[in-house]
Structure 1
Amino acid sequence: MLHKSLVRRLDLITLQLFVSVFEEGTLTRAAAREAIAVSAASKRLMDLEHVLGVSLFVRRAKGMDLTAAGETLLHHARQMLFNVEKMGMELGEHSHGVRGYVRMLANLSAIIQFLPEDLRDFSELHPEVKTDLEERPSTGVVQGVLDGVADLGICSCDTDTKGLLSVTYRHDKLMVLMPAHHPLAARDSLAFAETLGSDYVGLHVASSINMRTHAAAREAGKMLRLRIHVPGFDAMCRMVQANMGIGILPQKAYELFGRALGLHAVPLTDAWSDRRLILVARDEAQLSPVSRLLFDYLSLSMPALELPVSSVLQTIR
């Protein structure tokens, strides 16, 4: 069968050469980059095409272009080479005394508000475990965990988890960020619809906050007057300070970045502004022992008194 033939006959050097030909554009430059003879490089490519039974490149006078089959192989080859490099890094950690490695994806809100202290405390309890953390929007977190890029992920609860195991991680509260002199700054709370007469500074387009605010504006029968997108909460605070508009951010992000800049924040009254962040994994049973350690620790990390703002208000009433 073809897949058995591939296991026996594919090799990493040839896959690296294939990627180099694509990136360099010519076989000559790729061979020089990989430090092999052009004739040997040409034979490797022809053997690879023979094994796969497809043409990978269109040979032209000035270079080589990928075929549709070549584009498919490029995606998989890059992933395979990345995984091999990652494997080497993780195995190398063992020679330095690290006995476990957890790959984790999280959205910006979790990374800014909660994970620094949580991962610090976990690391103090388990110094032999190393965590590799990468920021992605909530949808990217889910996809990354599904694809096996990470063992664990943290995202907003309104994200389609596509069947992943999920448990509550934390709650946060969204607020309207504005200059202290803004007309709405005197309010104790605001409905999102009341803010739609102002220009907005928005987070990057894939962020859950950006998508939720656009949806809420449509539900109110209006469009968000967006002046600029920014990559993070610190950049949002600087843009608001420069009178580029108002923004939506979690309360703790305001306390970390906005307050020091002399900005003001007013809580939203909309139900969606009381958010739940969730911890996701493919399958609890398939987690490695160290990933399970971190999963269990983060599952129990929410302080007992930390409740959604709406729950607190219900208690007060």
Structure 2
Amino acid sequence: MSEGTPTPFILNRLDLKTLRLFAAICEEGTLNGAARRAAIAPSAVSKRLAELERALCCTLLTREPRGMRPTPAGETLLHHTRRMLGSAEQIALELAEHASGLRGFVRVLANLSAIVQFLPEDLQAFLAAQAGIGVDLEERPSGGVVAGVEEGAADLGICAGRTDPRSLKAYPYRGDRLVLVVPAGHPLAGRDALAFADTLDYDHVGMHRESSIYGTLRDEARRLGRPLRLRVHVPSFDAICRMAQAGMGLGVVPERVHALLGPQMNVVAVPLTDPWARRTLSLVVRPGAQSPAAAMLFDHLRLTADA
């Protein structure tokens, strides 16, 4: 092996504490920020970083006027560090669950549409049949679901069907339909159905910028050559309904979400006629073998999927 190349011995010295500090530097952007997060002296963080760069024979961070930024080598290390730290935390979590009597644990990432509409009943049925298995469910936007499953942060994920699955295998899970929510007295409230283009003369309330629904509405407005008059971004479907109730603007949510939340808020659902308003949610997994618990939940969700 040539001089300057990390040896297996050196790689064995990549302890989790040092990697956690490296990730903190990247995320905080400064040594002082990482030191505060780790509750240690900045000099100790600087020493660990220098030892890490020396061990790996490359520069991991560049110093800039506004902070520190990973080099290409640093980006590579950060990617693998996050996977390693996630795996280490999951080991501790799953072993603790086994110690408490569970025989398996499944990590699931899902978008908000799946969590609100379908997963409560699907997971309840699964856990009732598999009492010895635990499930950790985390909400992320669809792109974050794919990235998280790819990186090993979860065993399986559920995302919008239009999302690029990248290296993952994707399977149909459920279908839904998007509807417009408006206050009961709004001029559009009496319509049986309408096209999205008919809504663009009015103010809108939208989901956060990473939401697949917001991305669809933004792209469709651009295709139509019309501005999307967005008054506010909100983080949840109930917030959209509440804002619509208060007259802040029109909102777009899945039909089943309106059925759960809309009547109490006196907001009306008007179906959208656009083809993209009928959506598919996808179940995504990494290729290859799964843990027994993850395989059981995958099979259960496939069986509950829409035909």
In 1, Cα distance between equivalents of 2:14 and 2:153: 23
2:296 aligned with 1:293: yes
Q: Which residue of 2 aligns with 1:255?
A: 259
Equivalent position to 2:159, from 135, 155, 159: 155
Q: CA deviation at 1:166?
A: 1.6
Residue of structure 2 in register with 1:119 after alignment: 123
How far apart in 2 are the matches of 1:264 and 1:214? 22
Instruction: Name the SS for the 1:300 alignment partner.
Output: helix
| CA 1:218–1:57: 2 relative to 1, 3 Å | closer
| Distance of aligned partners of 1:130 and 1:246 in 2 relative to their CA distance in 1, 3 Å threshold | same
Q: How many equivalent pairs are there? A: 300
Residue aligning to 2:272: 268
Q: Report Cα offsets for 1:53-82 as digits up to 9, x if no partner.
A: 23557899xxx9566378534554454334
Greater shift after overlay, 168-177 or 216-225? Answer: 216-225
**CA positional deviation for 1:14:** 3.3
Are the counterparts in 2 of residues 54 and 69 from structure 1 also a CA contact under 8 Å? no
Q: Tell me, yes or no, if structure 1 residue 198 matches structure 2 residue 202.
A: yes
Which stretch shifts more, 140-149 or 250-259? 140-149
Deviation at 1:115, TM superposition (A): 0.3
Aligned with 2:216 (options 195, 212, 216): 212
Provide the C-alpha distance between the structure 2 equivalents of 1:94 and 1:131, rounded to a whole number of angstroms.
Answer: 13
Corresponding residue of 1:308: none
Partner of 2:98: 94
Determine the C-alpha separation between the residues in 2 that align with 1:93 and 1:147: 22
**Cα deviation, residue 280, structure 1:** 1.1
Contact 1:100 1:290 (8 Å CA) reproduced? yes
Is 2:235 the partner of 1:226? Answer: no
Question: So what's the TM-score if we normalise by structure 1?
Answer: 0.83
| Residues 67, 136 of structure 1: alpha-carbon distance in 2 compared, 3 angstrom cutoff | closer
Q: What displacement does 1:85 show?
A: 2.1
Distance 1:302 1:99 in 2: 25
Measured in 1, the distance between the counterparts of 2:36 and 2:203 equals: 50
Unaligned runs of 5+ in 2: none
Q: Secondary structure at the match of 1:158?
A: coil
Q: 1:158 to 1:49 in 2, by over 3 A?
A: closer
Distance 1:294 1:233, change over 3 A: same
Partner of 2:146: 142
* Distance change in 2, residues 1:121/1:237 (3 Å): same
**1:110 counterpart = 2:107:** no
Give the secondary-structure state (helix, strand or coil) at the position aligned to 1:184.
coil
Within the candidate set 181, 185, 189, 1:181 is matched to 185
Superimposed CA distance per residue, residues 227-271 of structure 1 (whole angstroms, 9 cap, x where no aligned partner): 111111011011111111001111111111121101111111111
Whole-Å Cα distance in 2 between the matches of residues 100 and 157 of structure 1?
28
Q: Which deviates the most, 169-178 or 216-225?
A: 216-225
Q: Is the 8 A contact 2:83 2:151 kept in 1?
A: no
CA distance in 2, matches of 1:256, 1:67: 45
Check the 8 A contact 2:61/2:68 in 1, yes or no. yes
CA distance in 1, matches of 2:281, 2:8: 43
Distance 2:228 2:294 in 1: 40
CA distance in 2, matches of 1:59, 1:251: 50
Contact 1:177–1:263 (Cα < 8 Å) also in 2 = yes
Opposite residue 220 of structure 2, the aligned amino acid is: A
Equivalent position amino acid for 1:300 in 2: L
Match of 1:311 in 2: none
Alignment of 1:17-36 (within 5 A): 17-18=21-22, 25-26=31-32, 33-34=39-40
Cα offset for 1:278?
1.3
Would the alpha carbon gap of residues 69 and 52 (structure 1) be closer, same or farther in structure 2, given more than 3 Å must change? farther
| Percent of residue pairs identical | 49
Alignment gaps of 5+ in structure 1? 305-317
| 2:291 partner letter | S
Higher Cα radius of gyration: 1
Find the aligned partners of 1:32 and 1:154 in 2 and give their Cα distance. 34
Take 1:236 and 1:123, find their aligned partners in 2: how far apart are those partners?
A: 31
